[in-house]
Amino acid sequence: MSRGELTMDDNQVRQTATSSGDWATEYQQQYNAGPSWADEFTSRGTDRWVNEFTSGEEKRGSVDDQWVNEFSNLHLDEEWADEFGRQVGEGAADSWANAYDEYLNEQVAAKQRSDASRGVYVFSDMNPYVGHPNPLKEGQEMFRKGLLSEAVLALEAEVLKNPENAEGWRLLGIAHAENDDDQQAIAAMMRAQDANPTNLEVLLALGVSHTNELEQAAALKYLYGWLRHHPKYGSLAPPELADSLYYADVARIFNEAAQMSPEDADVHIVLGVLYNLSREFDKAIDAFQTALKLKPHDYSLWNKLGATQANSIQSADAILAYQQALDLKPNYVRAWANMGISYANQGMHEDSIRYYVRALTMNPKADNAWQYLRISLSCADRSDMLEACDSRNLDILQKEFPL
């Protein structure tokens, strides 16, 4: 998590629907209190939400039934309910439900496509940094400045030039995680692990990204791997346990590690991620707050805390945590998107739109943010802007929703 996100390292969050995001899909996670925070061990994305929401499809029945069950769990204020009642009277409920149902079906199809290509890194078509004399140094500098999309291009040029450069792949994975793309982050980190199987930062980042994707088995595998290969805690992790990992065993061992070294922020961070996996959000919040006392300037850790608070239906507190992350790193795309989700979860859709637009100006490829933006536009009765959203016309959207 030190740079993984729980939508969470690096940790995305999800709008009122998370969550992979980071810190889960946080859109559904935040409503479901039930995470992909995974800066963000940080919704946060639709793929994570769909993975969890549709995992019991055969047991729960049709998509319509799933929607009814999910809708019944939402935390809605009276003003929103009154407005929805007026819309029902005007005959708008059916069209909204149909649009939402269509959205769910699109996400199911997208999830199936992503599963088929899991672990395959997709390079950019046009890359001006190919042929650059030192693309790694250029990528590191871009990353330091918060120019994540440019950093991705430079780092892609580096790993094309040096395919076995574990640090190039690792930093590329972090850049994707912070840019709210856990699928590419996982693919890059897997290549980093191939090049350096015992790199602790890589193992931790993979654990965070899989947490964001709501993939508990994979998350436990990498988090336990982090413990096994750690020079201080390796003796706590018997190798034979790796063949049949259970959450309770892994959590117990990490608690032992925390008692052994209470001053080690990374152990508390991993505990926070583990508690997100088990939906023990109060414990996760405590773990991240303990880690922040040790690493108060870790922007990705603030994002993880915010994503967890959002999952725990504490959106107002989450906004304060996200703001801390943005104060430390203003170009942190995942935190901007997570901020939008928290405003949307409070019914403040006009505000959420502005934050989504800001995130998208920094990364127009953030598909999850486009989906969240469209939902908020509909909820804010701004159907006049849906065409601009569908055509991804940021010029119009920025002019209409400045921040």
The pLDDT of residue 161 is above 50? yes
| Cβ neighbours around 280 below 10 Å, total | 17
**pLDDT tens per residue across span 2-37:** 344 444 444 444 444 433 334 333 433 333 444 444
Structure tokens at 348: 């403040």
Which one has a higher pLDDT value, 39 or 332? 332
Burial class (CB in 10 A: 0-12, 13-18, 19+), 28: buried
What pLDDT sits at residue 242? Answer: 75
The pLDDT of residue 153 is above 90? yes
Of the candidates 226, 255, 248, 281, the one whose C-alpha atom is nearest the C-alpha of residue 37 is 281
Q: Is residue 169 part of a domain?
A: yes
**pLDDT tens per residue across span 339-379:** 999 999 999 999 999 999 999 999 898 888 999 999 999 99
| DSSP letter, residue 263 | T
Average pLDDT of the chain is 79
The pLDDT of residue 112 is above 90? no
What pLDDT sits at residue 104? Answer: 62
Of the candidates 264, 316, 276, the one whose C-alpha atom is nearest the C-alpha of residue 34 is 276
Q: Name the residue range of residue 121's domain.
A: 26-400
Rounded-to-integer distance, Cα 50 and Cα 310, Å: 18
- Reported confidence tier of residue 74, pLDDT bands at 50, 70, 90: very low
Rounded-to-integer distance, Cα 114 and Cα 178, Å: 19
- Reported confidence tier of residue 239, pLDDT bands at 50, 70, 90: confident
Q: Is residue 99 part of a domain?
A: yes
| DSSP letter, residue 90 | T
What pLDDT sits at residue 58? Answer: 42
Encoded amino acid at 30, one letter: Q
Q: Is residue 17 part of a domain?
A: no
What pLDDT sits at residue 98? Answer: 61
Residues 4, 272 contacting (CB under 8 angstroms): no
Encoded amino acid at 17, one letter: A
Highest mean pLDDT among 179-193, 248-262, 292-306 belongs to 292-306
Distance separating the N- and C-terminal Cα atoms of the chain: 29
The pLDDT of residue 243 is above 80? no
Which one has a higher pLDDT value, 386 or 25? 386
Q: How many domains are contained in the chain? A: 1
Which one has a higher pLDDT value, 36 or 303? 303
Q: Is residue 10 part of a domain?
A: no
The pLDDT of residue 100 is above 60? no
What pLDDT sits at residue 107? Answer: 59
Structure tokens at 121: 């890194």
- Reported confidence tier of residue 190, pLDDT bands at 50, 70, 90: very high
CATH number for position 317: 1.25.40.10
Percent of the chain surpassing pLDDT 70: 71
> Which H or E run contains 301?
helix 299-311
Q: Is residue 16 part of a domain?
A: no
Half-sphere exposure of 241 (CA within 13 A, CB side): 22
Averaged pLDDT, 317-332: 95
How long, in residues, is the chain?
A: 403
Which one has a higher pLDDT value, 152 or 49? 152
Residue appearing with tokens 């209190």: 33
Which one has a higher pLDDT value, 209 or 379? 379
* Signed CA dihedral, 257, 176, 390, 373: sign only: positive
What pLDDT sits at residue 182? Answer: 82
Encoded amino acid at 118, one letter: R
Percent of the chain surpassing pLDDT 90: 56
Q: Is residue 15 part of a domain?
A: no
Residues 348, 332 contacting (CB under 8 angstroms): no
Q: Is residue 1 part of a domain?
A: no
Highest mean pLDDT among 10-19, 25-34, 99-108, 270-279 belongs to 270-279
Q: In the chain, how many H helices and how many E strands?
A: 22, 0
What pLDDT sits at residue 101? Answer: 63
Q: What is the DSSP string of 5-40?
A: -S-------------------HHHHHHH--------
Alpha helix positions (H), 54-161 = 57-60, 63-72, 78-89, 93-116, 135-145, 148-161
Rounded-to-integer distance, Cα 145 and Cα 149, Å: 11
Rounded-to-integer distance, Cα 288 and Cα 298, Å: 11
Lowest mean pLDDT among 84-98, 196-210, 246-260, 310-324: 84-98
